[in-house]
Amino acid sequence: MPELRSHARRNRASVNPNPNPNPINLLPQPDSNNKFTVRTRQRRTGQNRKQKDAIVADVDDNKLNDNNGNEQNNILSGAEFETTPLGKKEGEDIKELRVLREEVAEKKMDEYDSGGRSGDKGPGAEDEGSTAPLPEKVFYLLDFLLFWQDFHFWTFDVQVGGSPTYRIERKLGKGGFGQVYVGRRMGANGPGAIEVALKFEHRSSKGCNYGPPYEWQVYNALGGSHGVPRVHYKGRQGDYYVMVMDMLGPSLWDVWNNNSHTMSIEMVACIAIEAISILEKMHSRGYVHGDVKPENFLLGTPGTPDEKKLFLVDLGLATRWRDSSSGQHVEYDQRPDVFRGTVRYASVHAHLGRTGSRRDDLESLAYTLVFLLRGRLPWQGYQVLISFFKMSLCSYLLFVTLLTQVFVEYVVNLKFDEEPNYAKYISLFDGIVGPNPDIRPINTDGAQKLIYQVGHKRGRLTMEEEEDEQPKKKVRMGMPATQWISVYNARRPMKQRYHYNVADVRLPQHIEKGNEDGLYISSVASCSNLWALIMDAGTGFTAQVHQLSPYFLHKEWIMEQWEKNYYISAIAGANNGSSLVYLQQSYKVSDSFPFKWINKKWREGFYVTAMATAGSRWAIVMSRGAPFSDQVVELDFLYPSEGIHRRWDSGYRITSTAATWDQSAFVLSVPRRKPADETQETLRTSAFPSTHVKEKWAKNLYIASVCYGRTVS
């Protein structure tokens, strides 16, 4: 085997000074023609020994060839490698380069961000990414350079933002937007040599968007905060933004994985105590982390005074929960097509696309603690219905323990803008660990300070509830139920009629009788393949047609009615696939709630005017020229009580409802003309609300929408 040598050997400082104060040095340096020339020498060990040649890279015009001869982009801009074959044909050299490149590309790394030493995940581990996966091909060349540095082929040094020169030694892992490497300060050798974590982000990544990484802003705001690693230098060189950070130790996932997938109750309790205090400090600075999970909690470097300290890393998904200028809580919103975080640990609100707030970090922490203690979460291995599992009380009872049950119940019932009681949460775990903080497996100094500070402000050191404190209404805990959901609007006195448990053959009779009395259908729903009709004199219609079809929205019939100037005004679907259609303009049938389509039609001036479900399928009808000025959607796996009340406070009113066995959707709109009486009420009942309807009529409240499906008892 030939010995590979280079002009600049490993662990030897370069003698070529670089005038650029922030260089990324790739040694050997390019020549005057902007080419890297890399040559190797063979050691002669005897005439009878078979000669072997070194692999030489050939990269021309920033391209790499794949197995099919196609060119692929190379992220090292403005540089080429010159081929210098030694006794081999050019094609053979390139072939060997391709094999090397493929081996580097196939090496899977865990999702770690910062200087944690991360072991490979065991068999069966899930590869769960964050919101914006990084295009890994932009790091192929970095990995290639590091691979050959191990053979003394060349060295790879970094210097940014006035920092010392660091030599990259190995790859630690990757985060949501970048990759992390170990850097050793040049000129510092031996066991006491200074090591740092170097995070590289390509300028085209979503975290940068051709500007400084958003994560830099967060580190600037959180600099020096308890549990956040220090950033020493940062700057840009070439196509990369580089951040020089503290070198840290293993992640909690590593600790759990290296301990036969188990963790003691005392260890988990200590983690909970310190993690809550870290999140409290971060939240006090106005930020939520947005991706709390075992991989993002790192311990300090082993063998140092910080080895028992806990750190929270990877701030690329952090967002503000408090406006920096006004100091007010950010506005509530829901975008079901937007997800941020890691699927396994994300809060239910994140799955539903709701604006992130402090409660989401704490809910993710609760799932993290359960995972570390039990080694598994109930929804692991499922590709769908994960958020449904998280919403189910039954699943909570399956996986929570006495250690975490109360904490889970507290955090999943926090309101969007509610201030968490961090000290109370810490007190839930404090009694489990030993009284002497010095012998605890995790340093909890930050948590002890928090308990004292909060207790001192309140005039007491215990965080127990006041005796006269009223029990809080639970937002999400409760038994899932399937019920009737009816919505009532205040109207001037008018005639309204309802029919329920109507079989198919009885529909025409009720509709014809209502039309004779001047009533037209305003809402329809289905339960157990029987129909419910709401007919009233306030629809404004002069004529109405209907069809009971075995198809969920019969396209040919609808097109025919549109030609006659009839438009869909109400729809409902039965579990057997039948549908009942009345008057409208543009519609979509989908196996899941089609929020992306709705959002697209909103931009085109359409508004949702009717919704229905048949089994698990959704049908949405949207109309141009509807009497609304704005519209939003509230989607939930139980009943979005908090979201509906927040929308009501902002002037929205429910205009359409529909539900399946596992989801309920409410469309809320702002009317162009403000009604004289904006009163609106909702009612959830196990049976059709025939007795309640008459009570509402007495108050001039009339049914505006009705459906049957998922709620909570």
Between the CA of residue 258 and those of 252, 269, 376, what are the distances in Å? Answer: 10, 19, 15
CA 299 from chain centre, in angstroms, equals 24
The arrangement of strands across the sheet holding 231-237 comes to 24-27, 155-158, 166-174, 179-185, 195-202, 240-246, 231-237
Contacts 24+ apart (CB under 8 A), 1-5: 1/52, 2/40, 2/42, 2/43, 2/52, 2/53, 2/54, 3/43, 4/40, 4/54, 4/151, 4/152, 4/153, 5/40, 5/41, 5/152
**Alpha helix positions (H), 304-458:** 348-351, 358-374, 386-391, 393-399, 402-412, 422-430, 445-457
The rounded Cα 580 to chain-centroid distance in angstroms is 38
Name the catalytic one among 110, 157, 291, 430.
Answer: 291
Q: How far is CA 198 from its chain centroid?
A: 25
Distance separating alpha carbons of residues 562 and 34, to the nearest angstrom = 67
Residue 291 annotated to the active site: yes
Neighbours of 263 (CB within 10 A): 21
Measured CA to CA, the distance from residue 147 to residue 569 in angstroms comes to 65
DSSP state of 231: E
CB 139 within 8 A of CB 149: no
The helix (H) or strand (E) run that includes residue 568 is: strand 568-573
Q: Rounded to whole angstroms, how far apart are CA atoms 432 and 421?
A: 19
Query: Is 89 known as a binding-site position?
Result: no
Pairing verdict, β 35-37 and 80-82: parallel
User: 28 preceded by cis ω (within 30°)?
Assistant: yes
Please give the single-letter amino acid code of residue 561. Q
**Phi and psi of 241, rounded to 5°?**
-100, 130
Strand partners, 42: none
Give dist(CA 397, CA 494) in Å, integer: 49
Q: Active-site residue numbers?
A: 291
Return binding residues for ATP: 199
